């Protein structure tokens, strides 16, 4: 019986091809919009999370305090309040897995006829471990390199491209701020940081080398920040409190005085960013779903017109024995077929547009099964919901009145 009703519903729609096409088009656009917007939202969310995760897991960032001069205050890191001794003390705390000082500054690099300006990071041997950043070629520096402030350097991928072209940089000597440094390693590709900076456009040197020979000034004996990795995410809050108490004691800060440092929990930052981008994805999907609602109203409108046009047909069917359930099922099937067809086309169109836009505009998109199944399910629900009223109206017509309808 269902197969027969499906055939009759299909024939009824083919009799009005243009009207059926335009009705399905509303659902197609609605489903495509939902798939596209959710794909862009989820892609953005994954990119933000990926960027944060590229810094490493379970991280705390300890920054130097702001400086004050004549009533003018600089930002965090303006005053050198952190030392290598602070790093060693933090390393002794139980929840600490790795701890590395970071001293940064811009330097000019020269190799042969090529030169390049980039950022130099002075770190210890644990920095690459806590950043989950490996040396692709060559080696990392050792504790002896740090203790003796050796002039060795590890290059980022961007630096290699601009200084060496196709030449192997390992073992070569480059000039950093006019001083000779031996290249001992090349880092793997890392991508952009949270602030949009290209992490591959940097070099890494022993922290003592950076302090004594590259940066100088107030940071000759101090460090700009300390990056700390906890043993687990569960111990982050505890470690943050311990670091705060430890540094206040080491820096002899009075009970009610402000800290001369700041501690940032990167896991909290990641969770906040994930929540914000998740809300963005939900908002984009909600906005796009409005077009599905509009498409559903179009289906109801067309089905009501169809019931009016086919009133005599309904009367004849009832006169020869068709019951109300059969009439209701036929008209309901017509609306479901329209929405399912439009939904399938919309899914293909939305996924195709998302992929194309992601490649052409170079924006992150992420097409997954969940929004596709959700959009398809919603399209079917729209067909049932908005097709039910016209179908019930058709099934409740009285046969005699339907036969008399002109």
Q: Please check whether residues 399 and 322 belong to one and the same domain.
A: yes
Mean pLDDT, the chain, whole residue set: 81
CA 38 to chain centre: 12
Per the model's pLDDT, the better-predicted residue between 156 and 71 turns out to be 156
CA 265 to chain centre: 19
Q: Please check whether residues 290 and 379 belong to one and the same domain.
A: yes
User: Into how many domains does the chain fold?
Assistant: 2
Rounded mean pLDDT of 347-374? 81
CA 90 to chain centre: 32
Can you tell me the distance from the alpha carbon of 186 to that of 156, in angstroms, rounded to the nearest whole number?
6
Question: Residue 70 pLDDT more than 50?
Answer: no
Question: Residue 116 pLDDT more than 70?
Answer: yes
Can you tell me the distance from the alpha carbon of 123 to that of 40, in angstroms, rounded to the nearest whole number?
37
Q: Is residue 72 part of a domain?
A: yes
In terms of Cβ atoms closer than 10 Å to its own Cβ (0-12, 13-18, 19+), residue 28 is buried
- pLDDT for 203 equals 96
Instruction: Name the packing angle between helices 236-250 and 84-91 (round to 10°).
Output: 140
Q: Is residue 265 part of a domain?
A: no
Q: Please check whether residues 118 and 225 belong to one and the same domain.
A: yes
Rounded mean pLDDT of 353-380? 79
Query: Looking at 177, 201, 229, which one is the last position of a domain?
Result: 229
Q: Please check whether residues 203 and 125 belong to one and the same domain.
A: yes
- pLDDT for 383 equals 72
- pLDDT for 72 equals 42
Q: Is residue 363 part of a domain?
A: yes
Question: Residue 344 pLDDT more than 60?
Answer: yes
Q: Is the pTM of this model over 0.95?
A: no
Question: Residue 240 pLDDT more than 70?
Answer: yes
Least-confidence region, from 162-171, 221-230, 272-281: 272-281
Q: Please check whether residues 85 and 112 belong to one and the same domain.
A: yes
Question: 70: helix, coil or strand?
Answer: coil
Can you tell me the distance from the alpha carbon of 295 to that of 298, in angstroms, rounded to the nearest whole number?
5
- pLDDT for 27 equals 82
Rounded mean pLDDT of 54-76? 65
Q: Please check whether residues 281 and 399 belong to one and the same domain.
A: yes
Q: Please check whether residues 195 and 216 belong to one and the same domain.
A: yes
DSSP state letters, 218-284: GGSS-BSEEEEEESSGGGHHHHHHHHHHHHHHHTT--TTSPPSEEEEEHHHHHHHHHHHHHHHHHHH
Looking only at Cα atoms, what is the longest distance across the chain? Answer: 105
Q: Please check whether residues 137 and 42 belong to one and the same domain.
A: no
Q: Which domain holds residue 302?
A: 2-51+272-404
Q: Encoding tokens for residue 320?
A: 């020869």
Query: Looking at 202, 229, 256, which one is the last position of a domain?
Result: 229
Can you tell me the distance from the alpha carbon of 394 to that of 341, in angstroms, rounded to the nearest whole number?
23
Question: Residue 195 pLDDT more than 70?
Answer: no
Q: Please check whether residues 225 and 307 belong to one and the same domain.
A: no
Q: Please check whether residues 396 and 372 belong to one and the same domain.
A: yes
Q: Is residue 259 part of a domain?
A: no
Q: Is residue 279 part of a domain?
A: yes
> Taking a C-beta distance cutoff of 8 angstroms, is the pair 259, 65 a contact?
yes
Question: Residue 347 pLDDT more than 90?
Answer: no
Question: Residue 14 pLDDT more than 70?
Answer: no
What CA–CA distances, in Å, run from 84 to 98, 210, 219, 238, 239?
Answer: 14, 13, 11, 22, 18
Per the model's pLDDT, the better-predicted residue between 332 and 309 turns out to be 332
Rounded mean pLDDT of 183-206? 86
Q: Please check whether residues 311 and 175 belong to one and the same domain.
A: no
Contact partners, residue 205, CB within 8 Å, separation at least 6: 120, 121, 122, 123, 141, 151, 152, 153, 154, 176, 181, 214
Q: Is residue 264 part of a domain?
A: no
Q: Is residue 263 part of a domain?
A: no
Bridge partners for 176 per DSSP:
109, 179
Query: Looking at 211, 229, 247, which one is the last position of a domain?
Result: 229
When pLDDT is cut at 50, 70 and 90, the band that residue 69 belongs to is: very low
Per the model's pLDDT, the better-predicted residue between 57 and 24 turns out to be 24
Vertex 68, ends 64 and 73: CA angle to 5°?
85
Q: Is residue 248 part of a domain?
A: no
Q: Please check whether residues 310 and 330 belong to one and the same domain.
A: yes
Q: Look at the block and give the residue holding tokens 């504790």.
A: 143
């Amino acid at each position: 019986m269902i197969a027969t009703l499906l055939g009759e519903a299909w024939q009824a729609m083919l009799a009005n091809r243009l009207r059926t096409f335009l009705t399905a088009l509303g659902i197609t656009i609605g489903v495509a919009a939902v798939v596209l917007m959710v794909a862009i939202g989820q892609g953005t969310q994954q990119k933000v999370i990926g960027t944060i995760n590229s810094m490493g897991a379970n991280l705390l960032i300890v920054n130097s305090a702001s400086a004050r001069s004549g009533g003018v205050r600089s930002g965090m890191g303006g005053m050198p309040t952190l030392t290598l001794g602070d790093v060693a003390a933090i390393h002794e705390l139980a929840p600490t897995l790795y701890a590395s000082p970071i001293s940064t500054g811009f330097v000019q690099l020269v190799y042969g006829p090529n030169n390049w300006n980039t950022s130099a990071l002075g770190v210890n041997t644990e920095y690459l471990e806590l950043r989950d950043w490996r040396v692709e070629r060559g080696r990392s520096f050792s504790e002896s390199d740090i203790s003796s402030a050796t002039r060795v350097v590890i290059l980022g991928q961007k630096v290699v491209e601009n200084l060496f072209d196709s030449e192997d940089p390992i073992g070569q000597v480059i000039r950093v701020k006019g001083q000779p440094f031996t290249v001992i390693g090349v880092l793997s590709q890392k991508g952009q940081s949270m602030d949009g900076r290209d992490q591959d456009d940097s070099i890494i040197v022993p922290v003592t080398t950076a302090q004594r020979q590259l940066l100088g000034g107030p940071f000759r004996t101090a460090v700009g920040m300390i990056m700390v990795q906890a043993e687990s995410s569960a111990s982050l809050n505890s470690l943050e409190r311990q670091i705060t108490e430890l540094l206040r004691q080491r820096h002899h800060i009075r009970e009610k005085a402000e800290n001369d440092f700041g501690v940032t929990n990167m896991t909290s930052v990641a969770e906040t960013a994930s929540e914000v981008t998740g809300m963005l994805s939900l908002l984009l999907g909600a906005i796009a779903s409005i077009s599905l609602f509009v498409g559903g109203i179009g289906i109801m409108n067309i089905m009501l017109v169809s019931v009016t046009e086919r009133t005599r047909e309904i009367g004849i069917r009832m006169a020869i024995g068709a019951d109300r359930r059969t009439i209701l099922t036929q008209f309901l099937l017509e609306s479901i077929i329209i929405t399912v067809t439009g939904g399938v086309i919309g899914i293909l169109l939305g996924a195709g547009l998302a992929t194309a836009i992601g490649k052409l505009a170079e924006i992150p998109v992420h097409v997954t099964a969940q929004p596709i199944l959700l959009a398809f399910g919603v399209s079917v629900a729209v067909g049932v919901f908005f097709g039910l009223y016209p179908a019930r109206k058709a099934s409740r017509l009285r046969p005699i009145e339907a036969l008399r309808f002109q």
